[in-house]
Amino acid sequence: DAGITQSPRHKVTETGTPVTLRCHQTENHRYMYWYRQDPGHGLRLIHYSYGVKDTDKGEVSDGYSVSRSKTEDFLLTLESATSSQTSVYFCAIKGTGFGENSPLHFGNGTRLTVT
Amino acid sequence: DAKTTQPNSMESNEEEPVHLPCNHSTISGTDYIHWYRQLPSQGPEYVIHGLTSNVNNRMASLAIAEDRKSSTLILHRATLRDAAVYYCILRDFLTQGGSEKLVFGKGMKLTVNP
């Protein structure tokens, strides 16, 4: 499982509340990603990180912020959750072995429901 | 962004070979073709990738057309565990960090019949 742990695995929250999802890796990989998956849309990139304190936006970053204060943790924050952010969130890390073509390894996801 | 086209779904029978097609007519010369699959209630997992030559690994084979406008993922003997959504993806570089964004489409659902 490439040493990726997402927490929590499930969360139900109310509209307008802040939510933070955590992705923890144990293998010191440089690149980490947050994706969301919704029916009919496949996986879409929210934010990614290419090192400690180095992050950038993906294709659906509005309403989300991220932080990476240490290599092993990549946090995704919904400052004020909305129902449109109900989704399954996947964290991924870029592995090694193929240089720039190294595959991504995904966590098992966090199912977030905003009521 | 380079895009891929896959059938929405396919069916196969257990222990038979399965050929999963992917079209990518706008592929650029330096785009690699990646395949991932997603089992129910799990995150996607890497299957295989290639540039021009056919590739084999323990999970599957990847056959790439000579003009690179299409490719085929080959599962040599499908098992029930191979039932998943399969994604054919072209690599796309992000703006910073020298990393890459894998743009996942909707994928193709493979059903394996016992």
- pLDDT in the model for residue B99: 60
* Chain B residues within an 8 Å CB radius of A100: 98, 100
* Chain A residues within an 8 Å CB radius of B34: 101, 103
* The pLDDT of residue A105 is above 70: yes
A5 inside 8 A of chain B by CB:
no
* The pLDDT of residue A86 is above 60: yes
Smallest Cα distance from A30 to chain B, Å: 10
- The count of other CB atoms within 10 Å of the CB of residue A65 is 15
Task: Please report the beta strands in chain A, taking only residues with DSSP state E, as ranges in sequence order.
Answer: 4-7, 10-13, 19-25, 32-38, 42-51, 54-57, 64-70, 73-78, 87-94, 104-106, 110-114
Structure tokens at A44: 């879409």
Q: Please state, in angstroms and as integers, the Cα–Cα distance from residue A80 to each residue in A16, A19, A56, B101, following that order.
A: 4, 7, 20, 27
Average pLDDT over chain A, rounded to an integer: 92
Smallest Cα distance from B95 to chain A, Å: 8
- pLDDT in the model for residue B101: 67
- pLDDT in the model for residue B73: 98
- pLDDT in the model for residue B41: 87
pLDDT in tens, A1-54: 568 999 999 999 999 999 999 999 998 899 999 999 998 788 899 999 989 999
* The pLDDT of residue B16 is above 90: yes
- pLDDT in the model for residue A97: 72
Bridge partners of residue A12, in order along the sequence: A113
Question: For residues A103 and B2, what is the distance between their CA atoms, to the nearest angstrom?
Answer: 18
Nearest to B99 among A35, A94, A103 (CB): A94
Average pLDDT estimate for A77-94: 96
pLDDT in tens, B29-57: 888 899 999 998 899 999 999 989 999 99
Nearest residue on chain B to A46, alpha-carbon basis: B101
- pLDDT in the model for residue A111: 97
Task: Give residue B100's pLDDT band: very low, low, confident or very high (50, 70, 90).
Answer: low
Residues A50, B96: C-beta atoms closer than 8 Å: yes
* The pLDDT of residue A67 is above 70: yes
Higher per-residue confidence, B93 vs B7: B7
First to last CA, chain B: 38
- pLDDT in the model for residue B75: 97
Nearest residue on chain A to B95, alpha-carbon basis: A56
Q: Which residues contact B67 (CB under 8 A, 6 or more apart)?
A: none
Smallest Cα distance from B105 to chain A, Å: 5
Average pLDDT estimate for B50-66: 94
Instruction: Enumerate the H helices of chain A as residue ranges.
Output: none
Rounded to the nearest angstrom, the gap between the alpha carbon of residue B60 and the centroid of all alpha carbons in its chain is: 10
Residues B42, A108: C-beta atoms closer than 8 Å: yes
